[in-house]
Structures are given as structure tokens and as C-alpha cells.
């Protein structure tokens, strides 16, 4: 009986922890194809290129100017710990990497090259 109570208590603790974490920091989901773009290096692509990635649309940067920037401005609703998940497709026959920059006001707080 004590073993069942221990397992039940551990399960309850896990559920409470899981739901507490998810209630504190809500998900913020951004689609790159909806970003604002400067220059001609980033373009929304559909068709075969998108079918390989998501089946819908993708933000493609394999042609055009190198000084192009795709960006989005969002408001984080509350203080907390957030993870940034980036999904991308890197093909060996197309050019280079891209960089993710995260700013808080005017201060850059994250820089990651993919």
C-alpha cells in the first residue's frame, strides 16, 4: 500500500509541476513567412521548396541581397524563462547560414548563428 501511495504522490507531483510550468510561461508561436523583410534576400516561397519543409509556406533566403533582414517585433507578456525553438532546413547546395538576434529594448541579449 505504501508503494502505491508513493507512486501516486510522485505522479501528482509531476502533474502539478507540469501544469504549473505551462501556466506560467505561455507559448509564443511565430511563423517566419509572416515576418517583415528589408531588402530582397528573404522571400516567402511556396510549392516544392515548402512541401519539403512544412507543406505550406517557408521563408527562403537562398537568393537576392546578403544584407536582407527578416524580423518580427513581439511583446513578451511576463517575466520568466523562455526557450527559443528554431526550425530550419540547411541544404548544402545553397548559400550560407542565418543569424538569430534577440533584443530587449535596444540591448542585444541573444545572438546565434545557424
Any idea where the domains of the chain sit in the sequence?
29-113
- Asked whether the CA dihedral 46, 49, 51, 54 is positive or negative, the reply is negative
Residue 99 has φ and ψ, to the nearest 5°, of -120, 135
Average pLDDT of the segment spanning 89-97? 69
Rounded to whole angstroms, how far apart are CA atoms 20 and 97?
37
Q: With 0.75 as the threshold, say if the pTM is over it.
A: no
More confident residue, 4 or 64: 64
pLDDT-based confidence at 16, cuts 50/70/90? very low
pLDDT tens digits for range 33-70: 888 999 888 888 887 766 666 667 888 876 777 788 88
CB-CB contact of 71 with 100 (8 Å)? no
Average pLDDT of the segment spanning 58-84? 81
Rounded to whole angstroms, how far apart are CA atoms 67 and 90?
19
- Which grid cell sits at 67? 544584407
The owner of cell 527578416 is 70
- Which grid cell sits at 111? 545572438
- Which grid cell sits at 51? 512541401
Rounded to whole angstroms, how far apart are CA atoms 4 and 7?
5
Amino acid at each position: 500500500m505504501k508503494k502505491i501511495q508513493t507512486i501516486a504522490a510522485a505522479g501528482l507531483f509531476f502533474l502539478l509541476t507540469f501544469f504549473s510550468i505551462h501556466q506560467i510561461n505561455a507559448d509564443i508561436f511565430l511563423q517566419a513567412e509572416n515576418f517583415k523583410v528589408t531588402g530582397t534576400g528573404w522571400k516567402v516561397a511556396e510549392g516544392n521548396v515548402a512541401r519539403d519543409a512544412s507543406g505550406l509556406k517557408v521563408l527562403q533566403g537562398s537568393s537576392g541581397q546578403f544584407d536582407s533582414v527578416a524580423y518580427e517585433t513581439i511583446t513578451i507578456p511576463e517575466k520568466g524563462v523562455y526557450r527559443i525553438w528554431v526550425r530550419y532546413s540547411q541544404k548544402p547546395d545553397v548559400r550560407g547560414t542565418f543569424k538569430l538576434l534577440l533584443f530587449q529594448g535596444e540591448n542585444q541579449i541573444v545572438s546565434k548563428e545557424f
